[in-house]
A and B are shown apart, each in its own frame.
Chain A
Amino acid sequence: MATSRLQMDVVETVSPKTGEAVPAAYEHPWVVRMAHWANAICLFVLTASGLRIFRAFPSFGPKFEQHNLVDVPKNLTIGGWLGGALQWHFTFMWIFIATGVVYLGYQLFSGHYRQVLFTPKDIRGVWPMARHYFLFGPKPPVTEAYNPLQKLAYTSAVAFGVLSVLTGLVLYKPVQFSLLAAMMGGFHYARIWHFAAMLGFLAFIPGHLIMVAIHGWDNFYSMMIGWKRDPEYLRK
């Protein structure tokens, strides 16, 4: 697999603020944009219906040592009852899986993953970026569409997705996937890992939304149209 920097299409357009010619880069191909918005809907439905399912047995481990851990407010859930929530979960899990397969397949075969995949060479850049975001440190130079911290966040999100699907398979079919269940430490651990994957998403999403709010319209709009106007890494 090639490791060189991803080459993006670049066009000239006009800055609406200054009227000057500025470049625009095609950051998000169609498949990536479709997957992004489909995932946003899937994660909302799967989390809300999943919390309703969790309400039926808000515990981990076997029945006879049940400790009700948390009473998830009904208003945060969808489906109305366990059966209804399962219907939402069992419908959107397919949409989520299909989206994930198409996304990962596209990223791999187009080489587009190089834009966003966190690799060992990005490790060094994580701390300076975190220091800039959270501790008012100096801003590291922007040379790519995604900085090391972003790559870490987005790569983690994909890992949470893979984890939630694999653990979900074990919860859904513990007999057919008994080997996978054993690899996770058993049936009870699959439920814990499935929950952990959801918490991972719940940790990722607020940070993601705050960053989108901070970075302005052109950045947000690029996930709709693919093109980002006047990106920092193309400035001279």
Chain B
Amino acid sequence: MSAPEPKTPPKRDHKWSAMNRRELLKISPVLLLGAFAFEKFQKPLLDAGVDFSDWATDKLFRGHHLAPTFADSELTPLEKFPYNGYDVIEPEFDLDAWTLTVAGAVDKPGEYTLAQIKALPKINQNTRHVCVEGWDVIGNYGGTRISDLLAAVGADTKLKFVSFECADDYYESIDMASALHPQSLLCYEMYGKPLDRGHGAPLRLQVPTKLGYKQAKYITKLEVTNVLQAGKNGYWEDQGYSWFAGM
């Protein structure tokens, strides 16, 4: 009688284990995303992400591609158009004494009155105003093209930026290509009436290829420049919003 055959003990498959380890190691690069979990790396990584987004969307911007325009029947009623001031809705300053200071790389720097600005060709357009929060309104805007004003003051449009200062300490800056866009306005009228204080009297930006926080109100100074000083890029941008903010 033969003894029952001994059961073979489970053997480890070393080749299989080695292959598993190799394959596991191969997907380890995905752990690099874990860097986002460390506060030390988080800010520089997210800053790089926003900078890359701004770079990419600057490349995406087409100077002659127009923002959609709308029929008068599609306008948001003026009384429902929100006043979205960051601080004070009606900054204290003398409207009658107001002038626009034009500075930087221009042939004719100095103080410009509203009458001088209104003497430039007037554009009237119904465009969408989109807030970074996600809401939007369709407004009617009247004003002069930024490009016409830049031409009138002899600006060097090869420079990179146009920056703005406001009566309420808000400040903004936009890229030259967006400033020269045919729908980019220095706006002094909404719905056929002079701007009211809440909407930025006497002069505001209306650049329909940019988000709402770029549409500076109560503009007091315009500068053509190649350098944006740190902390002078824009009120919200300096707190972490995207600078290009193009739509």
Contact = CB atoms under 8 A, between A and B. Distances in A.
Interface in B80-127: 80-82
Given A173-B60, A175-B67, A63 B27 contact: no
A94 B29 CA distance: 17
B241 A175 contact: no
A46 interface: no
Interface stretch (B7-15, B140-148, B158-166): B7-15
Interface residues of B, number: 57
A227 B11 contact: no
A57 B133 contact: yes
B52 A94 contact: yes
Interface size of A as a range: 35 or more
Interface in A196-236: 224-227
A69 to B, nearest CB: 12
A90 interface: yes
B33 A227 contact: no
Given A57-B135, A191-B134, A37 B30 contact: yes
Contacts of A15: 10
Contacts of B48: 91
B236 to A, nearest CB: 7
Contact of A30 (B13, B26, B52, B138): B26
17 contacts: A11-B16, A19-B8, A19-B9, A33-B27, A38-B33, A56-B132, A59-B134, A86-B50, A86-B241, A87-B49, A90-B242, A91-B52, A173-B246, A175-B208, A175-B209, A176-B246, A187-B130
Interface of B: 8-13, 15-16, 19-20, 23-24, 26-27, 29-30, 33, 36, 45-50, 52-53, 57, 60-62, 65, 67-68, 76-77, 80-82, 128, 130-138, 208-209, 236, 239-242, 246-247
